């Protein structure tokens, strides 16, 4: 199926820069990307530079055209400066799709499961998303100390599933934490394990099984490093790793897989009691193939012990996923297979644009990558010890949210085009969804509450004996946020500049490194502030006054509905949260009461 694609895209509905993680680091794990895709990925910020030049020009033009009088309490016309402009969440494509089709999606899911519908946490995720960035649900007031210009910054929903803005903030915050507080200044290699379709479905709901499979995989990788170190005479050594459990694939399909950032070497203790890092040689293709065979064999043994190997279908245990959440189970199963579960196209494959309709799904093969009966292991991306910016880009890539606002586009008939990050090897450039189909894909990507998707192993584990001496933390290596807050009190809650890059230090720590005191008066904050994250991740100074260029600071947070309505009414802004569109009847279904007289 082929379709003529529009040449120009409307950028007025773009979300804030934190709404999307740009493409993977150069050489990263990308399925089926050819030369054209890699060129496109470089254009769309492989180097982590936020926007391409063209997007910067469009963003500045949009800012100049919009101005900022809509949220100004001072009433003066703002000057056109390259400053942050609050997003209009209600005007984005994704917000409109959820607002107009959520009730239809919930009704379809309930009808297919005798009224059970989707789990409560999935419905809550959608409804909370509709309040994200909406001024009518509350906001913060920031004011310039020089000219009294004010701006309203809406609250977020803090969703964990698919919200581009909240996912972008979480991506930036966790990446900064990993680089500043966890990962030592040693080489880091990314290992990516994908599993067969049936196992993805099991891992999507059974988090204990997901943790068990991850433990099998990480033990095999860290054991590989320890064996190589023993052959070099290093005994009693320990490796370390951080794993991000990603739930999505490039086509918004449910694809549970593991991105593991492994210290590319091993820590050993010297006779003097200090830690010394021994870098490892890059793995060969044969090493990766042997390691994948080991992981596959151990995972199959694990599944057999739990009666999940599928050897005898007649004796297979009942599916707890189907029993607990039948609607979400059906949606997840279809998403794993690249099919549609709801609507008139239920059971059909997701429409791919730019390819032959019946072409097979093609996966990439390359150096340091092995594929065996549905299991795939990739280890061809490494970051040098002194490349902290590259490491942070890699962390953002593995922590990115599943959806980017600027990759969604509406067609003339109301369907949704999803622009792929790069052209697949089979020629696919876009995916085409009915609105309800897109919502079902997002529902499958929503994780269950109270589960961890970022896990630590080996010497980086929370209770590891050497963790205090191995991790990168505070001191001379990274400027602590609290220290920067004290240096710049005019920031909202204290928003430091980006932590300066220190000179490359030797991978050798004295034994008492963990006991080194922090600088006087420095306390480690739990979370990064919004302004600090925007500055660090996107070089946006959100507290720069667009009128005079002065500094803005927080003066109040408004959550009282009466005060909210009063302020918004004074500014001529919407005082109510946008209402959901009623459920729509399926195509071909008529109202049985439409012929009755009024």
Question: What is the side-by-side strand order in the sheet with 150-154?
Answer: 150-154, 139-144, 552-558
Does residue 575 fall inside a structural domain? no
Q: Which helix (H) or strand (E) segment is 432 a member of?
A: strand 430-433
Predicted confidence at residue 309, as pLDDT, reads 77
Does residue 148 fall inside a structural domain? no
Does residue 562 fall inside a structural domain? no
Residue 120 and residue 328: Cα distance in Å, rounded? 11
Cα angle for residues 113, 118, 121 (degrees, 5° grid) = 160
Locate 69 and state its tokens. Answer: 């009088």
* Contacting residues for 191 by C-beta, under 8 A, at least 6 apart: 221, 241, 258, 259, 260, 262, 377, 378, 379
First to last CA, the chain: 46
Question: What is the side-by-side strand order in the sheet with 416-419?
Answer: 351-353, 430-433, 416-419, 408-410
Locate 145 and state its tokens. Answer: 């100390």
Please state the domain count of the chain.
1
Does residue 544 fall inside a structural domain? no
Does residue 352 fall inside a structural domain? yes
Q: Return the closest-CA partner of residue 177 out of 90, 244, 246, 271.
A: 244
Pair 199, 304: CB distance under 8 Å: no
Neighbours of 403 (CB within 10 A): 23
Pair 567, 558: CB distance under 8 Å: yes
* Contacting residues for 322 by C-beta, under 8 A, at least 6 apart: 329, 330
Beta-carbon-side half-sphere exposure of residue 170 (alpha carbons within 13 Å): 20
Q: Return the closest-CA partner of residue 90 out of 77, 103, 78, 99.
A: 99
Cα angle for residues 555, 558, 563 (degrees, 5° grid) = 120
Pair 513, 153: CB distance under 8 Å: no
Neighbours of 320 (CB within 10 A): 12
- What integer best gives the mean pLDDT of the chain? 75
Predicted confidence at residue 28, as pLDDT, reads 40
Return phi, psi of residue 164, to 5°. -65, -40
Predicted confidence at residue 323, as pLDDT, reads 67
* Contacting residues for 279 by C-beta, under 8 A, at least 6 apart: 186, 187, 264, 265, 507
Residue 538 and residue 84: Cα distance in Å, rounded? 10
Predicted confidence at residue 351, as pLDDT, reads 78
Locate 338 and state its tokens. Answer: 């690249």
The residue count of the chain comes to 598
Below-50 pLDDT ranges, the chain: 1-82, 312-314, 359-364, 473-522, 589-598
Q: Which helix (H) or strand (E) segment is 201 a member of?
A: helix 197-205
Q: Return the closest-CA partner of residue 411 out of 6, 15, 12, 1.
A: 6
Does residue 385 fall inside a structural domain? yes
Predicted confidence at residue 358, as pLDDT, reads 53
Predicted confidence at residue 356, as pLDDT, reads 54
Distances (CA, A) of 84 to 16, 64, 154, 464, 551: 9, 11, 14, 42, 13
Q: Return the closest-CA partner of residue 177 out of 491, 384, 392.
A: 392
Does residue 510 fall inside a structural domain? no
Q: Mark residue 276 as left, alpha or beta (left: phi above 0; alpha: psi -120 to 50; beta: remaining).
A: beta
Q: Is the full-model pTM beyond 0.85? A: no
Does residue 402 fall inside a structural domain? yes
Predicted confidence at residue 587, as pLDDT, reads 55
Q: Return the closest-CA partner of residue 59 out of 6, 15, 18.
A: 15
Contacts of range 493-501, beta carbons closer than 8 Å, 24 or more positions apart: 493/529, 493/531, 493/554, 494/529, 495/529, 495/531, 495/532, 495/535, 495/543, 496/532, 497/535, 498/535, 498/536, 499/180, 499/536, 501/388, 501/389
Predicted confidence at residue 576, as pLDDT, reads 86
Which domain covers residue 126, as residue numbers? 87-132+159-309+317-358+366-472
């Amino acid at each position: 199926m082929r379709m003529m694609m529009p040449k120009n895209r409307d950028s007025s509905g773009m979300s804030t820069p934190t709404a999307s993680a740009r493409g993977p680091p150069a050489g990263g794990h990308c399925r089926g990307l050819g030369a054209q895709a890699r060129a496109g990925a470089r254009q769309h910020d492989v180097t982590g530079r936020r926007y391409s030049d063209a997007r910067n020009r469009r963003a500045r033009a949009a800012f100049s055209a919009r101005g900022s009088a809509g949220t100004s309490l001072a009433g003066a016309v703002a000057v056109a400066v390259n400053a942050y402009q609050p997003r209009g969440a209600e005007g984005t494509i994704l917000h409109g799709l959820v607002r107009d089709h959520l009730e239809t999606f919930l009704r379809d899911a309930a009808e297919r499961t005798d009224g059970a519908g989707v789990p409560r946490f999935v419905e809550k995720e959608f409804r909370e998303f509709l309040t994200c960035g909406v001024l009518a649900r509350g906001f913060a007031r920031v004011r310039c100390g020089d000219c009294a210009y004010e701006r309203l910054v809406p609250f977020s929903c803090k969703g964990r599933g698919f919200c581009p803005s909240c996912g972008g903030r979480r991506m930036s915050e966790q990446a900064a934490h990993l680089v500043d507080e966890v990962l030592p200044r040693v080489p880091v290699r990314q290992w990516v394990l994908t599993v067969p379709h049936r196992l993805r479905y099991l891992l999507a709901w059974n988090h204990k099984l997901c943790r068990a499979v991850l433990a099998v995989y990480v033990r095999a990788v860290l054991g590989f490093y320890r064996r190589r170190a023993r052959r070099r005479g290093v005994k009693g050594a320990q490796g370390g790793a951080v794993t991000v459990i990603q739930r999505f694939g490039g086509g918004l399909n449910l694809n549970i897989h593991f991105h593991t950032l492994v210290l590319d070497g091993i820590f050993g203790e010297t006779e003097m009691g200090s830690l010394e890092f021994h870098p490892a040689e890059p793995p060969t293709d044969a090493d990766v193939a042997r390691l994948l065979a080991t992981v596959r064999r151990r995972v199959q043994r694990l599944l057999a012990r739990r009666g999940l190997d599928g050897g005898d279908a007649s004796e297979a245990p009942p599916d707890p996923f189907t029993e607990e959440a039948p609607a979400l189970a059906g949606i997840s199963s279809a998403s794993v297979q690249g099919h549609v579960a709801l609507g008139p196209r239920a059971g059909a494959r997701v429409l791919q644009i730019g390819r032959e309709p019946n072409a097979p799904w093609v996966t990439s093969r390359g150096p340091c990558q092995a594929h065996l009966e549905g299991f795939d292991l990739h280890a061809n991306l490494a970051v040098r010890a002194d490349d902290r910016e590259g490491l942070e880009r890699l962390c953002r890539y593995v922590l990115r949210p599943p959806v980017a606002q600027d990759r969604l586009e509406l067609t003339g008939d109301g369907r949704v085009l999803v622009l792929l990050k790069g052209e697949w090897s089979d020629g696919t450039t876009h995916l085409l969804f009915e609105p309800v189909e897109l919502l079902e894909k997002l529902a499958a990507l929503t994780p269950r509450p109270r589960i961890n998707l970022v896990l630590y192993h080996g010497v980086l584990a929370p209770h590891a004996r050497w963790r205090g001496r191995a991790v990168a933390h505070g001191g001379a290596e990274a400027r602590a946020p609290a220290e920067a807050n004290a240096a710049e009190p005019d920031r909202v809650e204290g928003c430091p500049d980006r932590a300066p890059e220190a000179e490359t230090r030797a991978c050798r720590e004295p034994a008492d490194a963990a006991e080194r005191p922090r600088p006087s008066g420095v306390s480690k904050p739990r979370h990064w502030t919004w302004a600090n994250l925007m500055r660090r991740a996107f070089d946006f100074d959100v507290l720069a006054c667009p009128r005079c260029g002065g500094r803005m600071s927080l003066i109040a947070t408004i959550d009282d509905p009466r005060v909210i309505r009063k302020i918004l009414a004074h500014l001529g802004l919407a005082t109510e949260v946008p209402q959901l569109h009623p459920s729509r009847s399926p195509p071909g279904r008529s109202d049985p009461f439409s012929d009755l007289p009024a």
